[in-house]
Amino acid sequence: MEATFAPKKLRGALAALSGALVLAGCAQVPPNAGENPADPYEAMNRHVYAFNDSIDRAVLKPVAKGYKAVTPEIVQTGVSNATDNLFSPSHAVNNVLQGKVSDGIGQGFRFLVNSTFGLLGLIDVADMIGLEEKQEDFGQTLAVWGVGQGSYLVIPFLGPSSTRDVWRYPEEFVTSPMTYALWNEDWWIGAAITAVGVIDTRAQLLEYEDLRAGVVDEYAAMRDAYLAGRERAVADGGVADPDAELERLTPLPLDDEE
């Protein structure tokens, strides 16, 4: 009864969430789920993946399409720059923690330059003067310190991660300037900025939508891509163990039965 008298937008959001929960409960879980050593929680992960995917299709993707359609490209670029700038303090800290002190100092200067001369990060002035972005997160830092990848995880709303990489989120919260600038009564401004950043990021991924059509098992493809990408990130663009990466790839099912 309460939902009947709720505003239309709220009823729509509740319907989308209800649909997501139903689809998550109906996620297809193969009988051999959990046999992959990197993904022992596969059954649970597939349900969370189905939940996230349904939220994406019902809410994020349509909103991202609308954002991309009505927002001038120069504004989209500014939003992307400002969002990236908020992570510069985290990049600075993690570069230093990994022993890349000069890169860490450079990331600190990037944040200062873009936050001032770049109008709160809307313009990437630092890149124009040669201060290249060096992205490092706490998951990579833990890897450098010898912590293993751990088990693959799919986190509600956040997506692919692992028992090691999940620690990047509290670190990014602590190092984000938004945490301290809008801590008390202005928390909703930070939430709004975060939402805009999420929509902008999703809009950038729209160009890859066609790739999904040809994927046999989207969950497995996402998992393999994430794990391989994280290994390259830890190795600074290289591959620490090419043979191990090939072995980790999920074999595609062969349609050889008549």
Most confident of 7-16, 79-88, 203-212, 242-251: 79-88
% of the chain exceeding 70 in pLDDT: 81
According to the model, what pLDDT value does residue 114 have? 97
User: Which range is least confidently modeled, 35-39, 137-141, 214-218?
Assistant: 214-218
* DSSP characters over 223-234: HHHHHHHHHHHH
List Cβ neighbours of 118 (8 Å cut-off, separation of 6 or more): 81, 85, 124, 125, 126
pTM of this prediction?
A: 0.81
Mean pLDDT to the nearest integer, 109-124: 96
List Cβ neighbours of 42 (8 Å cut-off, separation of 6 or more): 29, 33, 34, 36, 152
Between CA 43 and CA 51, with CA 48 as vertex, the angle to 5 degrees is 130
For residue range 189-229, list pLDDT tens digits in order.
777 888 899 999 999 999 888 877 778 889 999 999 999 99
User: Which range is least confidently modeled, 17-21, 162-166, 170-174, 213-217?
Assistant: 17-21
According to the model, what pLDDT value does residue 247 have? 56
Mean pLDDT to the nearest integer, 98-106: 97
For residue range 67-85, list pLDDT tens digits in order.
999 999 999 999 999 999 9
More reliable by pLDDT, 165 or 177: 165
Residue in the block written with tokens 């959990």: 34
